[in-house]
Structures are given as structure tokens and as C-alpha cells.
Structure 1
């Protein structure tokens, strides 16, 4: 940290100047780095009003550059910013074997309809990143036809966050709903990973993100191949 860079901004090389020669221009990748730093650099509350002007001075940019940076981030970054936390989807892993579930069907159903009703379960894992910290997320996937559902484990901090948000949902699946981790204990787990604390709004947005990204096209293709082999 220095007087010229009190917030430890990442030094970046501009690509030139804008058409009015008023501010610096940067590559799209570097503009994303500038955008992310607006949210991810810890700033004392009494310095919040000084932070953004300091960022713009350091990179010699203006509000328009920040707006464009946000558009580029949304367009090409495979991540999102949730209340000052950068969240990114990592790789999936199929960690168990496909299990064929016994589904009751009517005797007069056609054979192809019976296949459509066949259900399978399989243990899976998806990794997510919070501020570049890799965190596993384990779940059992239930697949039937075009639909699926997941049952999440309760070991990693992301899994605990899921159950905190869904407290009371499918309570009979839990050993004891009273044993759900509190937001305070979850924040203690996050602190041990070097991740800043979250409030309830943040954890709800985080679970929404996880549920939207837990299954992707590559994973669907892999699962379909396993199901085709089983049939």
C-alpha cells in the first residue's frame, strides 16, 4: 500500500485514450478487473465516499468507462457480483454410479411410456468460487423424464447456506431441523476461508445463483449418455 495507491488497485496498462482524449481505455479483460474491484476491495465505512473517485483517478477513467465495464462484465464474464461477493461456477463431477429407481406404473402402459417414467438417482458435485475461493457443493440428483430435483448434503459452507435458506422445506428429510447452522456460524466458516461475511439477502441471492447454475449443458450430455447406456 502506498499514498499513490492506498487501496492496492491492480496496476493495468491502458490500450490508449478515448476519442476525446479525455480518459484511458482498457482491454475488455482489464475493464472487468476494474469493475470487480469496485465491489471486492474492502473499504472502511468512513472512506466509502473517497473510494470511487480514487479508483477513477488511479486508472484515469470516468463514469462512462465504469458503465461500459459493467456491460462487458455481464456479456463475457462467467461470474456474477452478489452484494460485494464475486461468485463463479466451476466444474461438475459425477461421483457415484447411476441408480435405477423402482417406479410403479400401470400394467396397461405402453413400453415406451414406461421408459419415459423411469427414474434414476446419482451422486454429483459442482464446485463454485466465492472471491476465487473454491468450495464444493455435493448433491444427489433425481432424474425422471425431462425433470429433475436435487437433495443437497450438509457438510460444506455452501451446503449449509442452502439449508439455512430452505429451513423448514422438506423437514422430514432432515435429522433435526433445529440443528441447522445459523447465519452467525456460517459467517464464521466463511471467515476461516477468508471470505467476508454475508447477510440474509446475500445468502438468498447466492442460493438462487447456485440453483440456476448447478446443472449445465455439459453435465446434461454426460447424464444422458449414462441413462442411454442404462436403458
Structure 2
């Protein structure tokens, strides 16, 4: 502890200044950390009144930021805290090179004459800072693409649990199907607390929305340009 940081607050780097230049702005993830410290920092009763001003002063935040719930809720959405499971997108990896695919006539693809390719890829996700791989096959034809997820890692099994349908998992062969219980057992072995069915579905929605980002598209376009 120091006089400048009497509560051991987390040093964070601002992303810029707000519109009125009266305080720093922070990334959504860091905004959540600042917000959480209001509730997690142990403060003596006689210091409670001065703690918010110390918090705001340490981060050079304007007086309204921590008092506006919408700011925090937006930060929660952007950082994808799904029912208190902090889920974030990690790095991607392209495994190998483009594989040229031959399309038979009548396959029904709208872009005729465009070459089709497949590419093995991997995206890392983090749940409560635990890295979890997610490998998939990317099929590219013209301006469109689709993905086919592997069935090996835990996140991949979670995807197929949702994709195959909850009822099918209950009715299918238990030796070949994942269940909510088996998924939660695997999560627990990685130090991640259990998820209910709604959370599992939210997690898969987030994976599908985040599996391909701008950096990956740029790398993919470079590969496609080189192949043509």
C-alpha cells in the first residue's frame, strides 16, 4: 500500500479521454475490473465515504462513469460475461494451407465458377482465463464460407451438444453423446464452475459470433489471393 494507492487498486492503462476531456476512458474489460473493485475491495467503515473518490481519482475517471449502470452493462456485454463466466476470444491459428476442393455439378452453390477451398483452423477461447482450444474446418466458396467443428476438445463437444439438440442428447446412445452432466464434470476438471443449459447455449452463440474476426479474414484473403 502507498499513499497514492491505499487500497491496492489494480493499475490499468486508459484507452483515451472522454468527450468532455474530464476523465480517462478504459476498455470494457478494464471498466468491469474498476466497477468490481467497488464491491470486492475491503474498506473500513470509517473510510467508506471517501473510497469512491479515491477510486475515481486513482483512475482519473469523471464523476458520473461509475454511477451510470448502462456503462457497466455495455462493458459486460462487450466482454461477454455469461452468467458470471468470463468468456473472451483468444488467438487464432491457421493449421496448414488451403486445400482445393472439387465441386460436383448441381451442388447448388450460387457463385458458379468460383474455386472452393478448405482450411483447418483453430481459435482459442478463454473461460475465466482458462485457455480452451476450438478447432474447425473452414470451407470457402466465392464470398461465402461455412465451418465444420471438430469433436475432440471440450468446447467442440459443447458445440455439438447444442447443435445436435438437447433432446437428441437425452435420447441418443449415452456412450456416444455428451450430457450436461459430463460437460460440467469436464469443466470442473479445468477449474470452471458448472453451467446451466441457458449458459451453454449462450456460450455457443458467442463462439459462433466470434470464431472468425477481422484479423483472420485478412489472413485468409492473403492466402486466397496467393492461391489464385
TM-score normalized by the length of structure 2: 0.67
**In the TM superposition, what whole-angstrom CA distance separates every residue of 1:161-183 from its partner, at most 9, and x where no partner exists?**
101101159x9xxxx89612111
1:137 maps to 134
1:102 maps to 102
2:14 maps to none
2:144 maps to 147
Query: What is the SS of the residue equivalent to 1:97?
Result: strand
Whether the aligned pair in 2 keeps the contact of 1:168 and 1:177 (CA below 8 Å) is no
2:16 maps to none
User: Of the candidates 156, 172, 186, which is equivalent to residue 159 of structure 1?
Assistant: 156
Query: What is the SS of the residue equivalent to 2:222?
Result: helix
The 10-residue stretch of structure 1 (94-103 or 197-206) with the greater mean CA deviation from structure 2: 94-103
Trace 1:40-55 onto structure 2 (pairs within 5 A): none
1:201 maps to 198
Q: Distance in 1 between matches of 2:49 and 2:192?
A: 26
The 10-residue stretch of structure 1 (26-35 or 118-127) with the greater mean CA deviation from structure 2: 26-35
Q: Distance in 1 between matches of 2:216 and 2:200?
A: 25
Whether the aligned pair in 2 keeps the contact of 1:32 and 1:70 (CA below 8 Å) is yes
Question: Shift of the alpha carbon at 1:63?
Answer: 10
2:33 maps to 33
Trace 1:1-231 onto structure 2 (pairs within 5 A): 11-12=8-9, 28=26, 31-35=31-35, 60-61=51-52, 65=67, 67=69, 70=72, 73=75, 79-105=79-105, 113-114=112-113, 117-167=114-164, 179-231=176-228
TM-score normalized by the length of structure 1: 0.67
**How many residues align structurally?**
185
Whether the aligned pair in 2 keeps the contact of 1:167 and 1:180 (CA below 8 Å) is no
Whether the aligned pair in 1 keeps the contact of 2:122 and 2:133 (CA below 8 Å) is yes
**In the TM superposition, what whole-angstrom CA distance separates every residue of 1:13-52 from its partner, at most 9, and x where no partner exists?**
79xxxxxxxxxx997465421445799x9xxxxxxxxxxx
Question: Shift of the alpha carbon at 1:224?
Answer: 1.2
Question: Shift of the alpha carbon at 1:227?
Answer: 1.3
1:109 maps to none
